Structure 1
Amino acid sequence: MSLPPGFIDELRTRLSLSQVVGRKVMWDTKKSNQGRGDMWAPCPFHQEKSASFHVDDRKGFYYCFGCHAKGDAISFVRETENVDFMEAIRILAAEAGLPMPERDPRAQEKADTRTELAEVMEQAVQHFRLNLQTAAAGPARDYLTRRGLSPEAQARWDIGFAPDQGGVLAALTAKGVPQKLVIDAGLAATSDRGGAPYDRFRGRIMFPIRDARGRAIAFGGRAMDPNAKAKYYNSPETALFDKSRTLYNVQNARTAAGRGQPLVVAEGYMDVIALSEAGFEAAVAPLGTAVTEHHLHMLWRIAPEPIVALDGDTAGLRAAMRVIDLALPLLAAGQSLRFAVMPAGLDPDDVIKGQGRDAMQAILDAAIPMVNLLWQRETEGRVFDSPERRAALDKALRDKIRLIADPSIRSHYGEAIKEMRWDLFRTRKPQNKAFTPRKAQKWNPKAQPWERDLSPVATNKRSILGAGAADESHMREAVILATLIATPAALPAFVAPLELMDCADPDHARLRDAILRCAEDADLTAHLHACVGEEAVARLLTQRDVALTSGLRKPGDLDFARRCLAESFAKLTAARALPREVSEAVEDVDAADEGLTWRLGEAVRAVAKSSQIGGENNAEIVIAENGFGMDKSERAAFDAILQALTIAKPPRGPK
């Protein structure tokens, strides 16, 4: 049975040699380098303990330094499965999900036709190369010089020229090439209205497009006329050329990537040529189409993590976003993409010409993982100042992550997105003054911030406020954290206040951060042990007051946990607002005499006493004018403070 042309190439594109060999060997993880496709294992063809069997995944060959066995994926299957050539092809096709072609008696005839077309294309390459040296090509040579391409570089890339008159159709038919072959090769066409065939490429600089075997299979033409309908024009699809399965410069890029160079995906011919001439030889570009699924498989066959370096304009960024959506379902372990963001309005050619090779190297070195660009797409330029907007962001990201087929990668993407989400909402400026974050300090209720000021007013504050409010706030923090540990299902409803809870105790701050980072469906206790240690968790949960007053009393009771959290957050807010408001009020009092100090002190102590944690509180909660929640006894004590301040300093009336 004859296989159709290109079938084996497609098979090799879809499967890496390490995938095929990996079914039969155990890789030596210390000696192997999966990122570079450099894999080592004990040889499956002879008995040994050392890892002398080498697989070069990029070149697609294996070699044993012990028994000297060598070959490719097909020969490996033939030797290990003891099958003939066609059966080995069937095994590999099934593994790659590629259907075996039907028996085709005309396969040899098709192969002969493709060979003829490839010969016609090579003749066309030489014809266009010669035309570049003619007088008619003067403007084309000047353009190439302005773009920084020397005559030597033009020769390396086989760049040519198609004149307006006396084109390739006449030249090739004069040499005896049948007119039909010239048309079938995509070099000429016939009008829909009939008439003589005409050249497809006229007045254009010609860039030959070669396949992975180095054969010329198509052309790309750059118009010299600024008013041309299409600036760039590619060959039509032919028996040789399928643009959705072809990358410009793929053969040279495969060789360079095998030497360890990063694989860079650019947008056009000139970008690829500029990158290669600057030393980035593993550069490729799609041809007149967006990146396709076939392109991604080809790229991953060459390198596990290609760098997409599209133009730094709106169209380039849109193209990058389309690549993300296409790649997500195809991700696998060690198989992803990175994105190099070009400066606004520039492409790789512009960067190299204007800023030099080092600038391009710096941009490639700074390429970001695909998950970061996905996050940027969903968040850039948007404001998340309401629960509804944040919920919409969560839904959009969940929908994208669900596209990933590999469960391990899907899990890691979820964790990475959760980290970025936490950073975004944790560092944003809070809207509620009562929860304004401050840098965490070592917990010490005897050394509160206002005690660092030795002014007379500060002395009055110290005598008024004392350390009781700080003790009570510290306990409220502990109650909140313990309740969430006892009932993790209550977390989603309290993410916002927890994010804004300013913990003075560093242990509390670390526990808070770890709880926020933990997925709702994870084992929270195990997660906390891994993040902050078992000792820190045990120290929190074994405090007597915490055990008696938090959700630890009824672990897993969602309703009880929600009531406990709602009350604790409200009291914590009120307790922290009181010192600030009293301090501000005392600042405004002209004469803070001993009587005022005594009255304020008694009032504050009443608030502290009414807020003491002493068991489940079923008192009715009253919402104050400033939005803080407190029960009736707290409200009465707080009113006493305000009354004391009013007596000391009556409101000023109009003059």
Structure 2
Amino acid sequence: MALSPQWLDELRMRTSLSAVVGRTLRLTKAGREFKACCPFHNEKTPSFYVNDEKGFYHCFGCEAHGDAIRWLTDQRGLPFMDAVKELAAEAGMEVPVPDPQAARRAEQRASLHDVTAAAQDWFESNLRGADGVQARSYLGRRGFSEATVREFGFGYAPEDRQALKRALGRFEEPMLIEAGMRIMVEDKEPYDRFRSRLMLPIHDTRGRVIAFGGRILDSEANPNAPKYLNSPDTPLFDKGRTLYNLHRAAPAARQSGRMIVVEGYMDAIALANAGIREAVAPLGTALTENQIELLWRQVERPILCFDGDKAGQRAAMRAISRALPMLRPAHSLVIVRLPTGMDPDDVIRDQGVGAIEQLLAQPASLLDTLWDFEKAASPLNSPEDKAGLKARLLDHVDSIQHPDIRALYKRELLERFSAYAFPPRPPREFRPRSEWQKGGFKPPAPSLSPEARDSLTRAMAGGARDSLTRAVIAGLVKFPDQILRHEDALSDLARRDQNVGPALDSLLEAAETLDLSTQSTISLERGLPAPPAKTLFAFLDEGIDPGDAREDLAEAVSLLVERPALESALAEATARFERDPEGSIADQGRLRERLLALNERLKRFGRRKAAADGESDT
């Protein structure tokens, strides 16, 4: 019976490995993993670990390694299909019925593996022979050691269009074409795909050769030929589901705790040649969702290491765009940008392996990279430009599927945008009190324009939506030295609430001209409507200590600013119910809880005042 790799991957994803292993082995929690003494060799100190997120077990003592299926076959001795059936029954999956066509395809794949293995042997022998002089010279210039050349299986494909056909004559032509080794065109004889190229085998996760990549050696003689050429997709090879060098990098990543993604396979080999063995590369395409999942099975935050030029920036952004919808707790990407015009090999050659290690040790977060890229994407000289930046950032946020991560990204990016688009006003120049008092001169109190007085009058007389807003405005007039203390919060509220925005803007403008050293006040000329005689807000009482009044006023400002922000977020969460019902309901619940807590704080505010009035009455 032939089981597809996709079906087996689904089975592994639905299986809790620790539950399977824990039936016959006592496991102890160790961070995000489980540990135990290895059942495959005698040991007193546990070196056997089970990782549910990555779906494998590993012993650092005897190197035993495998997934849930391997555990049942190796530890319990079950035949492969019996192990699969047992796990499928527990996972609620139907085992595919025998399919004669699938069986034939499986046999064909096995035959195609024979083709690629034979081609690899032939390429390697060519590199060692007389035809491989130019290729060996190129490898020498790149500084690749003999051990690296052997480990990565470098080979050479000669110029002759029929050379591989003659060398692999035991395989039929259709098989060579299906394996991607030959090209068939109408009305012409098929010919070898790879010619006059340095060859590299591409392996699956089991270490079997499934495809090839070839680098041209004489670009002047072939100016129109691509610099790198990969095998096409075949029954063995799907470039969107394959990462170059993963079968070597995965064990190294388990030791180092990191996985590095570079742009091309020569970059991965250059890092391995320098001793950094946990590097992989996509194969001529942007990083795909399947490849990101492969990476997350190894580490939680793979390091994307891209060239510092514009092409490298675009590659990083394409990867980020693919990853954003997939983000989940503790799983993300981090990004290293190399110096402009340099690839990993250039950095190692010019600055040594220590320089690349230093860069890898200080990657930028996905969020930082997203912010930096979009901020630099176009000029930001006008309000329209800045609004475009905000729209681009929110488009990225909207693509995130996980509700908590989406909310956190939105909050962080909007805070950065606000700090950039609405920078704080410059600090006022300090003027010593003595300068104002020379000759008995006392600076006049700043007065409000008629328009400013009118806006404050409307807000105090009922234009503000509630007593809290009116009380805060009255408190700021009473204690104008507190206006600039709360400048950021008041500016944000002015943008949100058009009813009190003009009044708050007037106060902020007037406060900038205050001389606090002389306890200057705001001149109201005609005055403002007085707050109610009976008010819940102690900071408006005449007899209250000024220090206590200022602290109560600060809390009132906090309550005033937080409420519209929560109400706006609640309205937004409600509006997206149709496209994201689960996330909308969860966000609405959290926001309503915060609103209830805020209202309770308001009630405590009133109870404090009532208690204080009761004490004064007695």
Q: TM-score, normalised by structure 1?
A: 0.64
Aligned residue for 2:403?
A: 407
Aligned residue for 1:178?
A: 172
Aligned residue for 1:437?
A: 427
| Equivalent of 2:324 in 322, 328, 335 | 328
Amino acid paired to 2:512: R
Structure 1 position 136, deviation (Å): 2.2
Aligned residue for 2:128?
A: 133
Structure 1 position 32, deviation (Å): 3.6
Aligned residue for 1:610?
A: 525
CA deviation vs aligned residue, 1:547-592 (integer Å, no higher than 9, x gap): xxxx9xxxxxx99x75444224214413534769xxxxxxxxxxxx
Q: Which runs of 5+ in 1 are unaligned?
A: 42-50, 440-448, 470-475, 492-497, 521-550, 552-557, 581-600, 618-655
| Equivalent of 1:459 in 416, 420, 437 | 437
Structure 1 position 320, deviation (Å): 1.2
Aligned residue for 2:374?
A: 378
Amino acid paired to 1:189: I
Q: Distance in 2 between matches of 1:514 and 1:366?
A: 34
Say whether residues 1:450 and 2:431 are aligned partners: yes
Q: Distance in 2 between matches of 1:573 and 1:461?
A: 29
Q: What RMSD over aligned residues (CA atoms) do the two structures have, in Å?
A: 4.7
Say whether residues 1:567 and 2:503 are aligned partners: yes
CA deviation vs aligned residue, 1:127-153 (integer Å, no higher than 9, x gap): 111111222221111111111112221
Q: Who wins on radius of gyration, i.e. which is larger? A: 1
Instruction: Answer whether contact 1:17 1:61 (CA < 8 A) is retained.
Output: no
Q: Distance in 2 between matches of 1:450 and 1:108?
A: 89
Amino acid paired to 1:436: P
Instruction: Answer whether contact 2:301 2:332 (CA < 8 A) is retained.
Output: yes
Structure 1 position 380, deviation (Å): 1.7
| Equivalent of 1:207 in 192, 200, 205 | 200
Q: Distance in 2 between matches of 1:607 and 1:515?
A: 17
Instruction: Answer whether contact 2:446 2:521 (CA < 8 A) is retained.
Output: no
Please show how residues 549-588 of structure 1 align to structure 2 within 5 Å. Answer: 562-577=498-513
Structure 1 position 221, deviation (Å): 0.4
Instruction: Answer whether contact 1:14 1:301 (CA < 8 A) is retained.
Output: no
Aligned residue for 1:339?
A: 335
Q: Distance in 1 between matches of 2:209 and 2:512?
A: 75
Which structure has the higher relative contact order (CA within 8 Å, separation 6+)?
1
Structure 1 position 316, deviation (Å): 1.5
Amino acid paired to 2:179: A
Per the alignment, do residues 342 and 93 of structure 1 end up closer, same or farther by CA in structure 2, a change over 3 Å counting?
A: farther
CA deviation vs aligned residue, 1:265-305 (integer Å, no higher than 9, x gap): 11111100011222221111111222111111111112111
Structure 1 position 220, deviation (Å): 0.2
Aligned residue for 2:590?
A: none
Per the alignment, do residues 395 and 228 of structure 1 end up closer, same or farther by CA in structure 2, a change over 3 Å counting?
A: closer
Aligned residue for 2:312?
A: 316
Per the alignment, do residues 6 and 86 of structure 1 end up closer, same or farther by CA in structure 2, a change over 3 Å counting?
A: same
Per the alignment, do residues 19 and 515 of structure 1 end up closer, same or farther by CA in structure 2, a change over 3 Å counting?
A: farther
CA deviation vs aligned residue, 1:104-131 (integer Å, no higher than 9, x gap): 1233322222112112211211111111
Q: TM-score, normalised by structure 2?
A: 0.68
Aligned residue for 1:590?
A: none
SS, match of residue 241 in structure 1: coil
Equivalent pairs, count: 492
| Equivalent of 2:393 in 379, 393, 397 | 397
Say whether residues 1:349 and 2:341 are aligned partners: no
Structure 1 position 403, deviation (Å): 1.4
Amino acid paired to 2:183: A
Q: Distance in 2 between matches of 1:399 and 1:54?
A: 41
Aligned residue for 1:3?
A: 2
Q: Distance in 2 between matches of 1:486 and 1:337?
A: 48
Say whether residues 1:111 and 2:101 are aligned partners: no
Aligned residue for 2:295?
A: 299
Structure 1 position 504, deviation (Å): 6.5
Q: Distance in 2 between matches of 1:340 and 1:484?
A: 50
Per the alignment, do residues 614 and 300 of structure 1 end up closer, same or farther by CA in structure 2, a change over 3 Å counting?
A: same
Q: Distance in 1 between matches of 2:279 and 2:389?
A: 35
CA deviation vs aligned residue, 1:585-614 (integer Å, no higher than 9, x gap): xxxxxxxxxxxxxxxx9xx99973528666
Q: Which runs of 5+ in 2 are unaligned?
A: 37-45, 448-455, 533-618
Per the alignment, do residues 86 and 130 of structure 1 end up closer, same or farther by CA in structure 2, a change over 3 Å counting?
A: closer
Q: Distance in 1 between matches of 2:503 and 2:522?
A: 16
SS, match of residue 339 in structure 1: strand
Amino acid paired to 1:396: R
Please show how residues 122-201 of structure 1 align to structure 2 within 5 Å. Answer: 122-165=117-160, 167-173=163-169, 176-195=170-189, 197-201=190-194
Instruction: Answer whether contact 1:13 1:298 (CA < 8 A) is retained.
Output: no
Q: Distance in 1 between matches of 2:337 and 2:319?
A: 14
Per the alignment, do residues 104 and 370 of structure 1 end up closer, same or farther by CA in structure 2, a change over 3 Å counting?
A: same
